[in-house]
Structure 1
Amino acid sequence: MKSVTIGDRQVGPIGLGTWHMGDQPQIRSQEIKALQTGLDAGITVIDTAEMYGEGRSESLVGEAIQPFKREDLYLISKVYPWNASKTQLPISLDHSLKRLETDYLDLYLLHWSGDVPLEETVLALETAKAAGKIRDWGVSNFDTADMEALWRIPGGDRCVTNEVLYNLGSRGIEYDLKPWMQRQKLPVIAYSPIAQGDSLGDDFLANKLLQDIAAAHHVSIFQLLLAWSIREGQTLAIPQSGSADHVLDNLKAADLVLTEAEWQALAKAYPKPTQKQPLAML
């Protein structure tokens, strides 16, 4: 299985997303089982945020990881932009750590750019890192200009990743953002890597090309889309699933190998952008 390097840590190319998880008490046990099934199968990364259910997702993750050795996991959470000040970020971080029932995060992300000056946020993140409460920090939903602005700030180049929307139907970052990140040796964390219907078209499950390629490899279209997102070995994909079976299906996508002709057919049907596009966000 390929690995992705984030900072000085190598992780598998598929993690566990948790957006919308923890919101429905009636399926809490099912969602915990899904996360634990993924961890039992060798997934190490769990991605969450204080925004997800206003902390309910973090609490769910905190309960799910209790049977596992903390050092074997790679926990990611995110701070609201309005909580990213030198006074508020430490408070938000402590709340996240308490909900996650852990002493530190492997990665802490600024969820998107806001009104707090980036210089102040970088200082707050570096202070948290020096205190041992986070191992690394990064950003989310930053476009190329945002990343360039971050790099001009003292310490801004200590950012280790950018988490953005990326899938076969949303390739906008490939015009300039992804190449810029590659030059800086920054991996992409792809949220919603199993494309939404509105980005591939509402009938994407009936698409003959996707059907034919998936059938040739005895996989689902969803597994094919996930395999596409991690094809280059520089992307960590974090699909969300509250089903244990779906989590295991997602993991199998890491081993899917397509022919060059199949890759080219997908590229022709869903081409990379030829001009700048606004950063896609959900």
Structure 2
Amino acid sequence: MKTLTLAGQTVPTIGIGTWHMGDQPRLRETEIAAICAGVAAGARVIDTAEMYGSGRSEDLVGEALSSLDRQQLFLISKVLPENASRDRMQTSLEASLKRLRTDYLDLYLYHWRGSVPLAETVDELQRLQDQGLIKAWGVSNFDIADLQELWSLPNGPHAQANEDLYHLGSRGIDYAVLPWQREHQLPLIAYSPIAQGDAWGQHLTTNPVVKQIAAQHGVSIYQVLLAWVIRDPQVLAIPQTSSVAHMQQNIAAMDLTLSDAELAALDEQYPRPTRKEPLDVI
């Protein structure tokens, strides 16, 4: 099982994303079962946010946590830009903690940049860490200029992660963001690592090279896509699924290592960027 160090803890390189989970009451038991199956299969990281379903995802995760060992989990949530101020962030965090039925987060992320000055947001994140409500903090949807600005602040280098969109069909951050994060030893959390099932027309699941690699290894196409994302030892992938079987397959992708020849073949199909591209977000 591949691992990386995130906020001082060793965690497996595939975790559990929860965007869109908790929105449909009829799926609640199935979604909780999927989260529990992921943990049973070896996942430790569970990623959620106050934005997801206006708190419904956090509430779902909180119910799942009631049957799990909280001390063995690495729990991430995120604060909305409009709540990322000195006056509002602690209230927002405490509401998240209540929904999650826990008294601390392992990592609290600034979900994306808004109108609050970055220095104010960072200082408040650091204060909440010093207070013990969060063990660490980081950012999300940050591009290279955002990261450079973050690092220029007194508390900026205390950040422990950046979470960006990253998958085989969306490689913009390979040009500048990922090299910068490697240099500064800042792990990447890759959201939508399997492209939401080809939601944006990259045709990853029907690509003949992807299909051939999957067939050669006797694994699913999605496991190949996940193995590609975590080929970098400083990247954590957080795929989302409400299916127990798919969840187990996602976690098992940590055991799949693609050869140099396979990685080169995938690069030919989906080339590394040769210039700066706008940051992909969804």
Global fold match (TM > 0.5): yes
Structure 2 CA distance for aligned equivalents of residues 225 and 207 of structure 1: 11
Written as runs of structure 1 = structure 2, the 5 A alignment for 1:227-266 is 227-266=227-266
Over residues 223-265 of structure 1, what are the superposed CA-to-partner deviations in whole Å (9 max), with x where a residue is unaligned?
1001100012110100000111100000111111222211111
**1:131 alignment partner AA:** Q
What TM-score, normalized by structure 1, do the two folds share?
A: 0.97
Alignment: residue pair count: 281
* Aligned residue in 2 for 1:128: 128
Structure 2 CA distance for aligned equivalents of residues 55 and 69 of structure 1: 22
Over residues 56-78 of structure 1, what are the superposed CA-to-partner deviations in whole Å (9 max), with x where a residue is unaligned?
00000000011222111100000
Structure 1 CA distance for aligned equivalents of residues 249 and 41 of structure 2: 11
Residue 4 of structure 1 deviates from its aligned partner by: 1.2
* Aligned residue in 1 for 2:62: 62
**Is there any run of 5+ residues in structure 1 with no aligned partner, and where?**
none
CA contact (8 A) 1:14 1:236 kept: yes
* Aligned residue in 2 for 1:155: 155
CA contact (8 A) 2:169 2:204 kept: no
User: Helix, strand or coil: the match of 2:242?
Assistant: coil
**Is there any run of 5+ residues in structure 2 with no aligned partner, and where?**
none
Q: 1:30 to 1:198 in 2, by over 3 A?
A: closer
**2:261 alignment partner AA:** A
* Aligned residue in 2 for 1:22: 22
CA contact (8 A) 1:169 1:200 kept: no
What TM-score, normalized by structure 2, do the two folds share?
A: 0.97
CA contact (8 A) 1:23 1:53 kept: yes
Structure 1 CA distance for aligned equivalents of residues 208 and 78 of structure 2: 38
Structure 1 CA distance for aligned equivalents of residues 266 and 148 of structure 2: 31
Written as runs of structure 1 = structure 2, the 5 A alignment for 1:1-282 is 1-196=1-196, 197-199=198-200, 201=202, 203-282=203-282
More displaced, 83-92 or 35-44? 35-44
Residue 198 of structure 1 deviates from its aligned partner by: 4.9
Q: Which runs of 4+ in 1 moved over 6 A?
A: none
**1:232 alignment partner AA:** D
User: Helix, strand or coil: the match of 2:36?
Assistant: helix
User: Helix, strand or coil: the match of 1:134?
Assistant: coil
User: Helix, strand or coil: the match of 2:195?
Assistant: coil
Over residues 193-236 of structure 1, what are the superposed CA-to-partner deviations in whole Å (9 max), with x where a residue is unaligned?
012425562x4332211111110000111110011000121101
User: Helix, strand or coil: the match of 2:211?
Assistant: helix
